């Protein structure tokens, strides 16, 4: 029972943990995290609607928003960040109640977090981004696709090849323009 519950959690959210590399990262000590945080080009906190979000920016290039799975954190991506950062500017955010981000008093909702991501990206000065997101159960693959576009129509999603075998089961690509006229 315990084992199957864990497996579901793994399958549901922390999909990266099934890959050999990320397992080490997740079980590693804070040393690795500190290294990665200090390797970030920029990092910090941003308060959005009562949740104090932690974010890191890595690398240079076209911006890529990186969203971890349920019960994970940016640290899930430790082995991937240097690879992704070679060609892309990666904006990684610890989601509500996860990693270094506070839980706040709001219920957890992908839709609300999608809206928060829009605020964070705008605040950081990004006009359009690609998104790489780990699916969250039970919303599964479609969850982020449906929630991130929420703040404004104009997101364009398409699938791109998975950079790391099956460890990221689906990569979602989306772009949007942060038009000033954009409203809910």
Partner 1 sequence: MLPMQAQLGAGMLEMMKNTPMYKSYVAVAPNPADFPKLLDAMGAYMRKPYNWPMTSRR
Residues that bind partner 1 in the complex, under the rule CB under 8 A: 2, 4-6, 8-9, 11-12, 14, 17, 23, 26-27, 29-30, 33, 52, 70-73, 75-76, 97-103, 107-109, 111, 137-139, 142-143, 145-147, 149-150, 153, 155
Are 176 and 154 in contact, with CB atoms under 8 Å apart?
yes
Task: Tell me how far, at minimum, the Cβ of 117 lies from partner 1, in Å.
Answer: 16
Nearer to partner 1, 112 or 124 (CB): 112
Q: How would you class 9 by CB atoms within 10 Å of its CB: exposed for 0-12, middle for 13-18, buried for 19 or more?
A: middle
Q: By C-beta, is 87 or 177 nearer to partner 1?
A: 177
Q: Pick from 66, 56, 55: which is nearest to 173 by CA?
A: 66
Query: How far, in Å, are 36, 58, 60, 114, 179 from residue 85 at the CA level?
Result: 12, 6, 7, 23, 27
Query: Minimal distance in Å, beta carbon 81 to partner 1?
Result: 15
State the nearest-atom distance from the C-beta of 75 to partner 1, in Å: 5
Quick one: 29 or 38, whose CB is closer to partner 1?
29
Least distance to partner 1, CB of residue 52, Å: 7
Inter-CA distances, 71 with 26, 51, 168, Å: 11, 16, 16
Considering beta carbons, is residue 22 or 88 the nearer one to partner 1? 22
Tell me the backbone φ, ψ of residue 34, rounded to 5 degrees.
Answer: -60, -40
Nearer to partner 1 by Cβ, of 138 and 180: the residue is 138
The structure tokens listed for 78 are 């430790």
The residues facing 42 across adjacent strands are 57
SS3 99: coil
Residue 82 CB, nearest distance to partner 1 (Å)?
A: 18
At closest approach, how far in Å is the CB of 62 from partner 1?
Answer: 23
């Amino acid at each position: 029972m315990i084992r199957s519950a864990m497996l579901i959690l793994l399958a549901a959210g922390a999909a990266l943990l099934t890959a050999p590399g990320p397992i080490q990262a997740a079980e590693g000590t804070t040393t690795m995290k500190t290294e990665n945080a200090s390797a970030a080009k920029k990092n910090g906190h941003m308060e959005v609607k009562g949740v104090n979000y932690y974010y890191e920016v890595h690398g240079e290039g076209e911006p890529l928003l990186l969203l971890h799975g349920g019960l994970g954190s940016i640290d899930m991506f430790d082995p991937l960040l240097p690879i992704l950062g070679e060609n892309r500017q990666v904006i990684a955010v610890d989601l509500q109640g996860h990693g270094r981000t506070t839980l706040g008093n709001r219920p957890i909702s992908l839709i609300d977090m999608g809206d928060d991501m829009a605020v964070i990206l705008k605040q950081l000065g990004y006009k359009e981004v690609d998104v790489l997101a780990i699916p969250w159960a039970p919303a599964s693959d479609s969850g982020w696709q449906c929630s991130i576009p929420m703040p404004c129509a104009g997101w364009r999603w398409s699938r791109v090849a998975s950079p790391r075998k099956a460890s990221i089961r689906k990569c979602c690509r989306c772009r949007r323009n942060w038009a000033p006229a954009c409203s809910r």
